Chain A
Amino acid sequence: MLLLSAFEWLVRFQHMDRRWIFLGMAIAIAIPMLFPFTSEFSVDRSVKDAWQAVEDLPEGATVYISADFDPGSRPELEPYYRAVLHQLFTKDVKIVSATLWPAAPPLVFPIMEEIAEVYGKEYGTDYCFLGFKDGKELAIKSIGENLPKTYPVDFQGTPIGDLPVARGFKQLKDFPLIVLVSAGFPGIKEYVLQVQGQYELKMVGAATAVSGPDYIPYYKAHQLAGISSGMPGSAQYEKLVFLEHPRENLVHPERLLGIEGVNVLNLGHVFIVLLIFLGNVAFFTTRPKGVE
């Protein structure tokens, strides 16, 4: 009887209402959020390369950041974005930034402003935000060819010529490094295809976990100097900037969102693997004999 009910239970388990899975997933995500714990992890070579490319910049250089993400991909990319801003400002590297995503400006500029304030950086002199540009690949092509023509004014309407930080930068090629924080399309892939090869640009990027594998061929072909993929990549970047190689003038943030997040992922991934395992146990136990 007990055996029969276990069999029935396994059959039902295979076809259970998916809301039970949602509930289990919610619990798996909530537990590490409510009771945080830390676990050790190492840094991938691709992430280290991305960090090293920024480290290699001379003091006083100016980089171009294309912050192309929206609220949906914020948890994965914001930790990287914050960490790279800390790294750049502590190195006294200047920033010209813009975005190709319409939903990005209210998200990415306040973060940049907040971190700049921590290091006493001034808008216009040490960093600037040129705002959103529509046109996707065409916009990338246009930025690559002529930055001031594509962005004659910044997001507040100030002429680009009046911003000392952006003064003199005519093309993407003029920047020693391009940092791409990219949640999808348009993003890293389009930058590589449209301008990287043509102008031989040095670029590093951070992508979501879903799109990250798409960019591995570009990293292997040295079209990207480094790549951080998803929440684990962001956590590794935070580890490099804040824990392993903190600069003297680094101001530690209250929370390291990537490292916290990757611990949350731990249980989430384990939960899915457990589900798959139990699903297969149920499948093989209840499968009629002789059926593949």
Chain B
Amino acid sequence: MRTTIPLVITFVVGLIMLGEAFIPHWMYRIVTENILEWGVILAAAAFVLGLINLIQVNLPKVLAREPEWGYKLVMLVALVATLVVGFMGGGDRLSNGQAYKWVFDFVFVPLNATMFALLAFYIASAAFRAFRARNMEATVLLVAAVVVMIGRVPIGEQISERLPQIVNWLMEVPNTAARRAIFIGAALGAVATGLRIILGIERSHLGGD
């Protein structure tokens, strides 16, 4: 029973949703739209559970002064402060001078931009480690990467006028071909995974048989 009921629900709902691709009638669409809406409501309700989980995981560690409890305290204070500020100001909270806008401009924007900017540094160190001409394939990868890297910026054009053309060819032909192959393979894998779940062949998420 523990696995049968979820399997039946999965089969029925899965089949209804799959049918949407083949049954265009609006009456059928209303059924599928309702099911999707239940999903959206569930996802929204889960945010409350997420909040509870955050507090459950972090608050006891702060109270027990476990190692590095300070980080967790900062997180909890930031969470509460942003929540309070978010409720203030109503529809005008995006206007200059409002606390929410201030938090966005002077806390969120710099933090977000900093995290994204880390990529520039991490790419440099990852590329330094990974691009070694160890064998034929690695050499092809290395040469293509260097050509694209230089050809995508103005200095590439200064070196050779043909470099941007080569870059465009690399991006539009071999790169696109490989991406399409990955995309087709992944799409088929996705279809097969979906059907395995709907047909009840896949039960890993239920703890097996």
Contact = CB atoms under 8 A, between A and B. Distances in A.
Please determine if A and B sit in direct contact within the complex, based on CB atoms under 8 angstroms apart. yes
B14 interface: no
Interface in B29-56: 36, 40
A262 B153 CA distance: 7
Interface stretch (A48-56, A69-77, A79-87, A170-178): A69-77
Given A42-B157, A157-B91, A25 B104 contact: no
A73 B132 contact: no
A117 interface: no
Contacts of B155: 39, 266, 269-270
Instruction: Tell me what chain B mostly uses at the interface: helix, strand, loop, or mixed.
Output: helix
A213 B175 contact: yes
Nearest to A24: B124
Interface stretch (B3-11, B64-72, B107-115, B198-206): B107-115
B112 A232 contact: no
A280 interface: yes
B100 to A, nearest CB: 8
Interface residues of B, number: 47
A280 B179 contact: no
B131 A276 contact: yes
Most buried by A among B104, B123, B124, B176: B124
B149 A269 contact: yes
A292 B131 CA distance: 15
A258 to B, nearest CB: 12
A271 B124 contact: yes
A157 B142 CA distance: 53
Interface string B141-179: 010011001101111011000001000100110011001
A18 B125 contact: yes
A21 B121 contact: yes
A19 to B, nearest CB: 9
Given A71-B108, A276-B146, A269 B152 contact: yes
A217 B154 CA distance: 24
A26 B125 CA distance: 12
Nearest to A72: B116
Interface residues on A, range: 35 or more
Contacts of B40: 135, 138
Nearest to B134: A292
Interface in A113-139: 135, 138
A251 interface: no
A44 B164 contact: yes
Instruction: Tell me what chain A mostly uses at the interface: helix, strand, loop, or mixed.
Output: helix
B104 A275 contact: no
Interface string B82-120: 000000000100100000010011001110110111001
Interface stretch (A102-110, A161-169, A242-250): A102-110
Given A70-B112, A74-B113, A292-B134, A105 B94 contact: yes
B180 interface: yes
B157 A41 contact: yes
Contacts of B115: 72
A271 B127 CA distance: 11
A263 interface: yes
B22 interface: no
Nearest to B109: A71
Given A72-B113, A73-B116, A269-B153, A40 B124 contact: no
23 contacts: A22-B124, A25-B124, A41-B154, A72-B112, A73-B116, A103-B108, A105-B94, A138-B36, A157-B91, A209-B152, A214-B179, A216-B176, A232-B153, A263-B154, A265-B152, A269-B150, A269-B153, A272-B123, A275-B124, A276-B127, A276-B128, A284-B133, A292-B135
Interface of A: 18, 21-22, 24-26, 29, 39-42, 44, 70-75, 103, 105-107, 109, 135, 138, 155-157, 209, 213-214, 216-217, 220, 230, 232, 262-263, 265-266, 268-273, 275-276, 279-280, 283-284, 292
